[in-house]
Amino acid sequence: MLHLEHHGPIARLTLASPENRNALSPQMVQDLLGAFEDLKTHASTRAIVLSAEGKVFCSGADLKNLHHLLSASSEDNLQDSRQLARLFETIYTHPKPIIAAIEGKAIAGGAGLASACDLVVASSEASFAYTEVKLGFVAAIVMVFLLRSVGEKHARELLLTGDAISAAEAYRMGLINRLTEPGQALSRAMQLAEHIARNSPVALSSTKTLLANLPSMGLHEALQHAAQMNAWARTTSDLKEGITSFLEKRAPKWQEPSDG
């Protein structure tokens, strides 16, 4: 089950299946995909906070479903895997900033879910574990985003040992951005989302596009692409409003796009 609430410019998505440790069942994956896709064109939403009910943020794959797929065809398994990959890619490339608020355990694909978000705010009592190797599984999809989050050496340690790490250790590795007191992750994440939401929607979306694309480019290609984006940004109404409001010493009034 997934809950969606709107708090002004912030959309809050809550994983609400604590009895199943908020596992990434096929239905949960589908619900998350649908919600994130809808929020792409929800004009009044400027940032998204992903949180969860219960003591486990997300336990990763639904093991009952995974057990069922052991006897399924290769095509069925590939389709299921591609759906999960699509969810992670949708989060990572989403035009609006996404902040994970984590109070409890983030395990396997659940830790990967956090890795795909733009920012992670976690309680000091949270923990992270990429446990796939302990089950004879491979954290293949998760690995794509973990490598970008913490670099190769930290990723190797997390993926090869499968051991859990504390929130403090995750912060040291760069897996999380803000460390909070117990029970404060959601409120801090909402505050951070509201702070980010004050920025230009066009600039935020364009920045996210660059963040997703630049790491896979060579130096020359990246600079050419960046130059094109830089030149395009100079033609936008948001830049005009941003410079004008700065010179007039007032808060900017960003143009509201229409829902579509």
Q: Which residues are catalytic?
A: 132
Six token digits for residue 204: 């935020």
φ/ψ (deg, to 5) at 108 = 50, -120
- Location of structure tokens 């984006």: 229
Strand order in the sheet with 56-58: 56-58, 105-107, 127-129, 164-166
Assess contact for 25 and 75: CB atoms under 8 A.
no
Rg (CA), the chain: 19
In whole angstroms, give the CA distance from residue 229 to residue 208. Answer: 12
Return the H-helix or E-strand segment holding 10. strand 10-15
Per the CB < 8 A criterion, the answer to whether 3 and 37 are in contact is: no
- d(Cα 112, Cα 50) in Å, to the nearest integer? 13
